[in-house]
Amino acid sequence: MRSPVDYRRIAHAMAAGPAAAGELYEAAALALTEIAAGRRTLRAVRHPLGFLCLPVEREADRGVCVHVFDDDARRAAPALTTSPVHAHSWDLASCVLYGEVGNVRALVREDAHDPTHRLYEVRSTAPAAVGAPAWNDTPAVDEIRPTPRLVRCTSDPQETSTAGEVYRLAAGQFHATVVPAGTRAATLLLGRTRPGGADLTVGPVHGTAHRVVRQTCDAATTARTARTVLRRIHGHHGG
C-alpha cells in the first residue's frame, strides 16, 4: 500500500519555516496512524546510532522516515562499532516532533602524520541503502570498510533543535546526533540522495572491515512504537 505522505509537500512545509509546523505534525500523525493501525506493511528498523527508524516512504532518490529516540531504542540497538561521527550521501532535513535533538558538526581533515581516526565507507546491502527505509523483514547489512584516508577529527559546539524546529545537514557534512540518555525525542526526516556520494563514518585508526546487521522489528513492535510516538506528539501539543 502506498503512503499518502507526500515528499514534495513535506519539503515545501519544512522550507516555509515555523508557520508550517502544523502541516508537518499532521503529515507525521497521518503516517503514524496508518502504521499503528496495521494498514502499512513496513517494519521499524533498529539503527546502530541508537534510534528506531520507521520508514514511511521511499521512492527513487527520496525518502521520508520517522526517527524515535528513547532509552528502549538505545538499549536494543546493535552495538556501534565505529564512532557516532558520520556523513551521509544524502541531504537531510528533519523536523523535531517532540523533545530536543542536538547535532555536533565535526571538522574532519586529512592528517596522515598524526591522525586521530580513519575514515570508513559504509555500504548497505538489500533491502535498503544506508539511512534509507527497509521495506520487508530481511535485515539490512552494513558493510563497513576502512579507507586509506587517515584524518584528524575535531568538533564544533552542539546545536540543539526543539519541537517544531527544522534542522538541515548537507550530504558530506560530518556530524554526530545527540539525544541524552533519559530523554525522549522523535523527528520527521526527509532524505534526498546526491549522485556519486558515499556514506562515511569516523572510526579507529587500526580498525578492520566488518559488518553490522540492522535488526528489523516485528509488526507488533512497529505498531506499538507508532502508537507511542502518536501519544507523545498529542501529549506535547495538548491534543
Domain extents for the chain? Answer: 7-237
pLDDT of 212 strictly over 90: yes
Amino acid identity, position 113: H
State how far the Cα of 93 lies from the Cα of 90, in Å rounded to an integer.
10
**Residue from 156, 152, 66 nearest 106 by CA:** 156
Output the average pLDDT for the chain: 90
The pTM for the full model equals 0.91
180: cis peptide before it, omega within 30°? no
The backbone torsions φ and ψ at residue 76, rounded to the nearest 5 degrees and listed phi first, read -90, -5
First to last CA, the chain: 28
Contact 153, 116 (CB under 8 A): yes
Domain with residues 7-237, CATH architecture:
Sandwich (2.60)
pLDDT, residue 237, reads 64
For residues 27-38, give the mean pLDDT: 94
**Residue from 198, 189, 7 nearest 88 by CA:** 198
pLDDT, residue 66, reads 97
DSSP H or E run through 15: helix 7-16
State how far the Cα of 119 lies from the Cα of 172, in Å rounded to an integer.
12
User: Cell numbers at residue 110, please?
Assistant: 586529512
pLDDT, residue 58, reads 85
Percent of the chain with pLDDT over 70: 91
pLDDT, residue 107, reads 96
Which tops the pLDDT comparison, 1 or 73? 73
For residues 170-190, give the mean pLDDT: 97
**Residue from 5, 62, 59 nearest 30 by CA:** 5
pLDDT, residue 180, reads 93
User: Cell numbers at residue 222, please?
Assistant: 512497529
At 3, the pLDDT band (50, 70, 90 cuts) reads low
Give the Cα-Cα-Cα angle 192, 193, 197 (nearest 5 degrees). 150
Please, which residues bridge with residue 162 across strands? 100
3-state secondary structure of 38: coil
Contact 44, 221 (CB under 8 A): yes
pLDDT of 134 strictly over 80: no
For residues 144-165, give the mean pLDDT: 96
For residues 122-132, give the mean pLDDT: 59
Amino acid identity, position 235: G
Interval 39-57: pLDDT, tens: 888 999 999 999 999 999 8
